Amino acid sequence: MLRRLILRDFVIVTALDVDLRQGFTALTGETGAGKSILIDALQLALGSRGDAGVVREGASRADITAEFEPTATLMATLTPWLDEAGFEATPGEPLLLRRVVDSQGKSRAWINGRTATVSQLKELGEHLVDIHGQHAWQSLTRADSVRALVDAQGGVDTATLQSAWVARREAQQKLEDARLRQADLDRERERLQWQIGELDKLNPQADEWDELNAEHQRLSHGQAILDGARLALDAVSEADDSADSLTSRAIDALEEVATYEPELANALEVLRGAQAQLQDAAHSINAALRHTELDPDRLQELDGRLSMWMSLARRYRRQPAELPELLQSWKQELAELDAAADLAGLEQQADAAHKAWVTTAKAVSKQRAAVAPQLSQAVTQAMQTLGMAGGRFEVTLIKQDAPQAFGLESVEFLVAGHAGSTPRPLGKVASGGELSRLALAIAVTTSQSTPEGAAVGTLIFDEIDSGVGGAVADTVGQLMQQLGRDRQVLAVTHLAQVAACAHQHLVVSKALKDGQTSSDIRAVDDTERVHEIARMLGGAITDTSRAHAQAMLQSAREHETAANRPAPRNSSKKVAA
């Protein structure tokens, strides 16, 4: 349930904290006082669209916080979602939804103190609050809204149906594209096959280009390598006056006198190290000479292969080293074209996707067929108490000639306003007042019949009772009072009969302070509530209107007491008799 709503600088509200209770709460006030401000603020906290217009004039930002106390059943459903989204949630602790909109229209959101997206606010809010607006009847004339209402009532998994439809559409689109592009695909396949054949002759391997160039460099400079190595070997160790022999002579000379002069010992060690390095160098040069040979045939072979690499690289406007990757990409593209040209395979995929969608759609049709008569009967019963005695409501399923995203049938509401008349499409036969009452009947019926655990904790009716009065208004109040026994109900209303049935009564007032209009909300009880009910009855507030208001409040309390009184033990026997 909604425990608390905090508003700061919202429209004409400077600062407002509203504490709400379980049961039915009526929100009333003078025309233009801003009764719907509370609902508008809550909708903003639940992810509705916000702009700079919601910021109070002269303020930098509007700040709304909604504190919810979800049931244990609802938390069991929400906890996995909250955990996955990264929002900490402790059992028994409230859920805090916050929304801030600045004067530039920029918006920020939080869930339990952590930054959230507006879509996350909206997704969470759908589990917490169900709002029925004053123009709810308008949705009864829209096919998508009607179908969504019936599907929600029947627990239809529309996400699975939509997913199956998308898979079916994509499979059919691939098949259709392949049929239309068959000639183009054939030409493209021929081109790729020829290009792949050209590169396959070369059969370029990864890193081969660098290896070929390195080997070509060695062979093409083979004679220079041999000449240089021989000269170096002579200078290092082969010639009579080579560096090795000269170093050896120096070592011999120092060894004779080093014992007499300690400082010469260091020089001797350096010369011995140098001689060892010269011998290592000579060994390496010898090894190079043994492995270096002139191979004109191999050099010619390398020239030819490198020429093929260069020629193909120029033809396809790529760097030579990119040819192996290019070949693989063409082979992958050819495989995709082969798959796209496989009409038989695509037809099988399209047929399988269609059958999967049909299976899902038939399951949805079964659910709709089961819930349609139940909803028809429940709304028809509600109509009898809402000034439409003898009227009848029907949920009709109309088979479609062709498959649609929403299933195998459309849904339409039919209504007969009085006994003996034939039900006809709702938008063609119902008046504005009847539409409002029908919307109320449907809202109350669906709210009452929603399975426990799937139901949201808070129901809000925003002037949905407009256009009704008299005994019907009494019934509306009693219905909302009845709903309030199981969950939290908040109703913005102008009907005294409805407000009198509330468990909690909030009054909205508007005043001019320091040159600015400001709205306020306060809970009323006892004398103040009698005064407000008397005002809502119309005309001057007199002793007579106060007495009337007092009588209405007393009647509502008695109705509540009678409804909560246990039934007699033998009541079932009387019904059976």
Question: How many other C-beta atoms lie within 10 A of the C-beta of residue 75?
Answer: 18
Q: Quick one: pLDDT at residue 4?
A: 93
CA-based angle 360:363:369, to the nearest 5?
A: 140
The answer to whether 390 and 419 are in contact (CB under 8 A) is: yes
Asked which of 103-117, 456-470, 477-491 is least confident by mean pLDDT, the reply is 456-470
What mean pLDDT comes out for the span 99-111?
A: 94
Q: What is the mean pLDDT of residues 114-118?
A: 93
Weakest-pLDDT range from 166-175, 316-325, 333-342: 333-342
Is pLDDT at 574 greater than 80 in this prediction?
no
Is pLDDT larger for residue 517 or for residue 506?
506
Helix (H) or strand (E) holding 440: helix 432-449
- Among the listed residues 72, 164, 73, the one whose alpha carbon sits nearest the alpha carbon of residue 405: 164
Tokens of 295: 């191979």
Is the pLDDT reported for residue 571 higher than 70? no
Asked if residue 433 has pLDDT above 70, the reply is no
pLDDT in tens, 288-305: 777 667 777 777 888 888
State pTM to two decimals.
0.61
Q: Which amino acid is at 473?
A: A
Tens of pLDDT, residue by residue over 212-244, are: 888 787 777 767 777 787 888 788 887 778 888
The CA–CA distances, whole Å, from 372 to 62, 150, 363, 413, 441 equal 44, 7, 14, 10, 15
Plot region of 448 (φ>0 → left; ψ -120 to 50 → alpha; else → beta)? alpha
383-427 residue pLDDT tens = 888 878 888 999 999 999 888 999 999 999 999 877 878 888 877
The better pLDDT of the pair 350, 140 is held by 350
Q: Which two tokens stand for residue 259?
A: 């014992």
pLDDT (average), residues 184-204:
85
State which H helix or E strand residue 130 sits in: strand 129-132
pLDDT at 134: 62
Joined tokens for residue 477: 């109040």
What do you get for the CA distance between the two ends of the chain, in Å? 42
> 2-132+433-443+456-566 belongs to which homologous superfamily?
P-loop containing nucleotide triphosphate hydrolases (3.40.50.300)
3-state secondary structure 19-45: ECCCCEEEEEECCCCCCCHHHHHHHHH
- 3-state DSSP assignment of residue 42: helix
Strand, coil or helix: what is 122? Answer: helix
Residue-wise pLDDT tens digits, 139-153: 677 888 889 889 988
- Per-residue pLDDT at 570: 46
Where does the pLDDT of residue 260 fall: very low under 50, low under 70, confident under 90, or very high at 90 and above? Answer: confident
In angstroms, the CA 48 to CA 464 distance is: 20
Q: Is the pLDDT of residue 453 over 50?
A: no
Q: If pLDDT is split at 50, 70 and 90, which confidence band does 429 have?
A: low
> Which among 198, 217, 227 is positioned nearest to 330, based on CA atoms?
198
Looking at residue 227, the DSSP 8-state letter turns out to be H
In the DSSP assignment, the letter for residue 138 is: G
Q: Are 136 and 443 in contact (CB under 8 A)?
A: yes
Q: Token digits for 345? A: 């395979």
Q: Are 395 and 375 in contact (CB under 8 A)?
A: yes
pLDDT of 513 higher than 70? yes
Q: State the residue for tokens 């195998």.
A: 408
- pLDDT band for position 382 (50/70/90)? confident
Domain parsing of the chain, residue ranges = 2-132+433-443+456-566, 185-340
pLDDT of residue 10: 92
Residue type, 564: N
SS3 116: strand
pLDDT value at position 61? 95
d(CA 260, CA 265): 10
pLDDT at 101: 95
Which pLDDT band holds residue 431 (cuts at 50, 70, 90)? low
pLDDT reading at 438 higher than 90: no
Looking at residue 432, its pLDDT comes to 63
| Percent over 70 (pLDDT), the chain | 92
CA dihedral 37, 386, 410, 127 (to 10 degrees): 40
For residue 65, pLDDT over 90 is answered with yes
Q: Is residue 428 very low, low, confident or very high in pLDDT (cuts 50, 70, 90)?
A: confident
DSSP states of 251-305 as a string?
HHHHHHHTTT-THHHHHHHHHHHHHHHHHHHHHHHHHHHHH----HHHHHHHHHH
Q: What number is the average pLDDT over the span 109-120?
A: 93
DSSP state of 322: G
pLDDT for the residue numbered 32: 72
Residue 193 is predicted with a pLDDT of 86
pLDDT of residue 408: 93
